[in-house]
Amino acid sequence: MRRKPALNDRTAGVSEVPPDGGAPTSTAEGVARRSAVAEEQAFLDLATARCDRLADHLQVELSSETLDALERARQRMLRQQHEELRRAREGLVFGRLDGLDGTVRHIGRVGLRNDGEDGEPLLLDWRAPAARPFYTATAVDPQGQARRRHIRTTGSAVVGVDDEPLDGTTTAELVGEGALLAALDQRRTGRMSTAISTLQREQDDIIRAEATGPLIVQGGPGTGKTVVALHRVAYLLFTHRRMADQAVLVLGPSPRFLQYIAQVLPALGETAVVSATCDTLLAEIRVGRDESRLLAEIKGRALWQPALESYVASLLPRPRELKLRWEGEFYVITAARVAQALASAVQGRPYHRARAAFAEQLHHLLAEAVAEQREALMNEMEEGFEDILARVDRGMGHDHHSARTSTGSDIDGLLSEEEIEHLRARIAENATVARFIEAWWPTLDAETLLGDLLTDHTLLARIAPQLSPEEITTVAAEPAPWASSDIPLLDALADLLGEVDAPQPQGEFVADRARRQRGWVYGHVVIDEAQELSEMQWQMVLRRCPSRSITAVGDIDQAEAAHRHTSWAQAVQAAFGDRWTAAELTICYRTPREVMDLTEPVLKKAGSHNAPPRAVRSSGIAPWELTVMSAELADAAAQVVRQLQQRWHGGTVGVIAPAERIAELLAVLSDVPVLTASQSKGLEWDATLLIDPQGIAAEPRGWNSLYVALTRCTQELGQLLLTQEGHSKPGCGGSEDL
């Protein structure tokens, strides 16, 4: 923090070096621009040098040999800090706050302290509480700030600044509007980048919200749902350090989507994160079969959770008398004792943990039975000799009771407590006893159990009576391998069975350990495209985060999954009941106004009661249509894509089509993504070519899918409409000349 210079410019605007090197429109304006850029360049150089010195110091520390476990833990922490500094060098400084009290605070990817002993921050971490006014201060509520400055950099050079007075002289709707719109107008690279320099207030409110329960964030296309979700992860890990000890799980809709966002969290300095889809949460299981929407809907219902609990409970052994052999003798454990041990062992434990608890009790019961039988035998022997001993003692004048003062098998044949415990340990290690327990209470496998269940009409009717005979027939008719809807059922069974042995996962970083263990409990879970989750998939999430510290972002109007939910209340009722918090993102930053104007009638046909988000930018390019004959589709698509690639050179072009058209298009389009609407969810391109929109609308939940497809572009949308006969004709927007 430092004192600020006098403000040179009291109006909002962009200050930058002219890209063509030409002279500014006025001498005063040029001087102000150069002065602002030079000032921030000097600070960036200072911060970069400080960052490099810290990184070098950490590198020296890391070169020392590790000795004990404590030192190795410290080394892991230092490596993480070193990696954070290394990644932060790109875009290290991006903002500045000038306070009404004369202070200046720079905002960046990481926090840096001055070299001096005063410990004052040189650079504020964007997640720190003191940095929040950078995202939330307005002219109406300046929060003690006079000006906000967005600093744009390329590599190690400052290329522009965007000043925004907060003293009431301007009332801009967006925070850092110039910087935001400049970022939105940049070419897309096929990878998501961080947005810490351009976050808006409604986004920041969600990022910094409490993490004490489920937070469901509704946001239409282009509102920054994914940006908010990922930056919330970074904020929570920074604010709640203990959360990093448990890791955060990020669930995305597809592997392509996870690849798209892969570098965002590492760029924000976070490594305690596991990314997965619902299909990949069970690392050892692979989805190998598509399934009908009807079957997916049936298997996704919440009824399967209690049904599977009942199924596993029915596999527990029933109390009965047990007869075990030990060292040539048979010993009987009564049904009453077995029932008592069973009840004590189960007590809410998973199947295999309950078996382990019962086995331990059975070892004690057998050891006690051996000791009791030995004592009974000794008592019988003593009764036979009692009269003889008494006569001998009387004749000899001895009191035989006074001689029996010691105990132990060597003295009186009875086992001491120590000897009984030793016997129990021997029983626990005995292979014959282990085989007996395995036969009576066998080890079970989730895949085998589910396979048996899903092919047995009678068993299905018994454990899931809510299913109709027709639904049972549908479920039982599908063969292996596993489909996507089977994964939550397998996960539920694996949880109900528990591990036979539960070794501690190994790995240097917490994310590595969490990734390897199915039963890992995460500190927080973030779900993107959460509207697609079935009720059973929500159960998978709850098992991994019983604290319910969950952030779910999505758009209920973009739901394409087989379930029948049309509102968030329906979607999360089975998992959370009414105990969840709603938030909403209302502004569309990505999709231009020209495209968003097309979406309202599509939403209505999808059955939505929501208004589309409000677009805040215009690309200046009207959406266009081109009608072609069906037989000419592939060639026409290839030609249009080439033209779009030339128009958006350095950016990205994506193609979205009905599922039945994908193979045909892939044959001629090898250098652009060709996806169904569902596969395109969460992605964005500079230009989108939408093929056969009516064909997409005709698919299941097709109007929802068309809503997704229309809103993937950041600049230009073109549509190829199909006709079976006739001739090609131009559509709207000048489509003859692309």
- The annotation places the binding site for ATP at 219-226
- Taking the C-alpha atoms of residue 631 and residue 635, their distance in angstroms, rounded to an integer, is 9
Q: Which two tokens stand for residue 89?
A: 């060098």
Q: What is the DSSP string of 359-394?
A: HHHHHHHHHHHHHHHHHHHHHHHHHHHHHHHHHHHH
* Residue 707: closest CA among 584, 537, 552, 531: 531
The b-or-e profile of 596-632 (16+ CB within 10 A means b, else e) is bebbeebbeebebeeebbebbbebebebbbbbbeeee
* Residue 277: closest CA among 497, 541, 490: 541
- Taking the C-alpha atoms of residue 162 and residue 504, their distance in angstroms, rounded to an integer, is 52
* Residue 44: closest CA among 151, 134, 162, 145: 151
Name residue, tokens 């000032």. Answer: 39
- Facing residues of 157 across strands? 154
Q: Which two tokens stand for residue 289?
A: 């079969």
Angle formed by the axes of helices 431-440 and 351-396, to 10°? 130
Amino acid at 314: S
- Taking the C-alpha atoms of residue 79 and residue 216, their distance in angstroms, rounded to an integer, is 35
**Pairing status of strand 93-99 against strand 145-154:** antiparallel
Rg (CA), the chain: 35
- Please report, for residues 81, 228, 272, 351, 509, the alpha-carbon distance to residue 268 in angstroms, rounded to integers and kept in the order given: 12, 13, 12, 42, 17
Detail the residues annotated as belonging to a binding site. 219-226
**How remote is the C-alpha of 687 from its chain's centroid?**
29
- Taking the C-alpha atoms of residue 60 and residue 297, their distance in angstroms, rounded to an integer, is 57
**Which ranges constitute the DSSP H helices of 678-737?**
693-697, 702-710
Half-sphere exposure of 136 (CA within 13 A, CB side): 16
Q: Residues with Cβ < 8 Å from 308, sequence gap 6 or more? A: 463, 489, 492, 493, 496
- Taking the C-alpha atoms of residue 96 and residue 161, their distance in angstroms, rounded to an integer, is 10
CB 233 within 8 A of CB 163: no
Q: Residues with Cβ < 8 Å from 20, sequence gap 6 or more? A: none
Q: Residues with Cβ < 8 Å from 132, sequence gap 6 or more? A: 204, 208
- Taking the C-alpha atoms of residue 148 and residue 137, their distance in angstroms, rounded to an integer, is 8
Q: What is the DSSP string of 205-249?
A: HHHTS--SS-EEEEE-TTS-HHHHHHHHHHHHHHH-HHHHHH-EE
CB 589 within 8 A of CB 224: yes
Q: Which two tokens stand for residue 315?
A: 């596999």
CB 116 within 8 A of CB 104: no
The SS3 of residue 673 is coil
CB 103 within 8 A of CB 3: yes
CB 204 within 8 A of CB 183: no
Q: Is residue 373 classed exposed, middle or buried when 0-12, 13-18 and 19+ CB atoms within 10 A define those classes? A: middle
- Taking the C-alpha atoms of residue 525 and residue 545, their distance in angstroms, rounded to an integer, is 7
